[in-house]
Amino acid sequence: MAEQTALADRTSEDGGKPDAAVVRDALGVGVAVGLSGFAFGVTSAGSGLSLLQTCALSLLVFTGASQFALVGALAAGGNPLTAAAGAFFLGVRNAFYGLRLSQLLALPRAVRPFAAQWVIDETTAVALAQPTRRSVRLGFTVTGLSLYLLWNLTTLLGAAGAEAIGDTDKWGLDAAGPAVFLALLAPMLKTTTERAVAGIAVLLGLGLLPVLPAGVPVLVAALAAPVVLYVTGRNRGRPDAGPDTGPEDGPDAGTPRTPSTTGPEAPADGPDNAPHDASGEDR
């Protein structure tokens, strides 16, 4: 019922956002993130992928974190299957985005397969920030279109110019992908649980990097989420007070408490609570 109410509020035209403001915000996100496709193109070419393979990744996969994870693992000498598995698990989050966006966008069935290609972090963030269904659709479309076009264009430029640039380590472009990903992820970590998952995942990934093959640390780091959620669930299931938590501290610990006959908790006088004398008769 609450979900239906929230959706009704979003679809209402009252309090809507001007189309120009939605387009401006969407273009800001699309252009800012789309430029990092140049770094992906350079990194992908440096890992040994051809120009065609690099462009195909951006055209067909189109999820920056997964693309960087794949070419990064390949560049480190990892097994292609392991690298693909790590990229796949990073991309699974988009499926959960789709479950939420499908309710807000309410697109025709014929359009949904094409819109699914644009279900990524950036389009989801812009869409969820909109107050009405019209602005949700507009923000999603403008963000997805601008980002898709610019990302693929800069991927092509980066891969084509990789030979002219030379060693990407000297330019620091190999770190551009992780930096962009962290910049997008950091604002989303709003709760203690989310920060704990991110922190443990980083420790697992970095700690296992020297001892496991390339791509495997990413898979192991994914275990941070179920571990933290399990611990959090157990903590929430514990009672805050009561007999199960043990006796209270202090000199009166363990002494049963009796209702006070004075103060706010004292029973009010009335027909059923009238005082009695020793003989049991009402006074």
Q: What is the pLDDT along the chain (283 residues), one digit of tens a residue?
A: 444 444 444 444 445 789 999 999 999 999 988 888 888 898 888 888 899 999 999 999 998 888 888 887 887 777 888 888 878 887 888 898 999 999 999 999 999 999 999 999 889 989 998 999 999 999 999 999 999 999 999 999 999 887 676 666 666 665 665 666 676 667 778 888 888 998 998 898 888 888 887 667 777 888 888 889 888 888 887 765 444 444 444 444 444 444 444 444 444 444 444 444 444 444 4
Residue of 271, 181, 218, 228 whose CA lies nearest to 87:
218
Is 276 in a helix, a strand, or coil? strand
| pLDDT at residue 32, rounded to an integer | 86
| pLDDT at residue 60, rounded to an integer | 92
All residues at 6 or more sequence positions from 34 whose CB lies less than 8 Å from its CB, including other chains = 146, 147, 149, 150, 151, 153, 154
Single pTM value for the model: 0.61
Backbone angles phi, psi at 76, to 5 degrees: -85, 5
Contact yes or no for 99/71 (Cβ under 8 A): no
**Which class for 135: exposed (0-12), middle (13-18), buried (19 or more C-beta within 10 A)?**
buried
User: Distance between CA atoms of 36 and 158, rounded to whole angstroms?
Assistant: 10
| pLDDT at residue 245, rounded to an integer | 44
| pLDDT at residue 149, rounded to an integer | 96
User: Residue 100 corresponds to which tokens in the numbers above?
Assistant: 């939420």
| pLDDT at residue 170, rounded to an integer | 66
Crossing angle between the packed helical segments 80-91 and 93-105, to the nearest 10 degrees: 30
User: Distance between CA atoms of 183 and 157, rounded to whole angstroms?
Assistant: 23
| pLDDT at residue 157, rounded to an integer | 92
| pLDDT at residue 180, rounded to an integer | 63
User: Residue 151 corresponds to which tokens in the numbers above?
Assistant: 């990302």
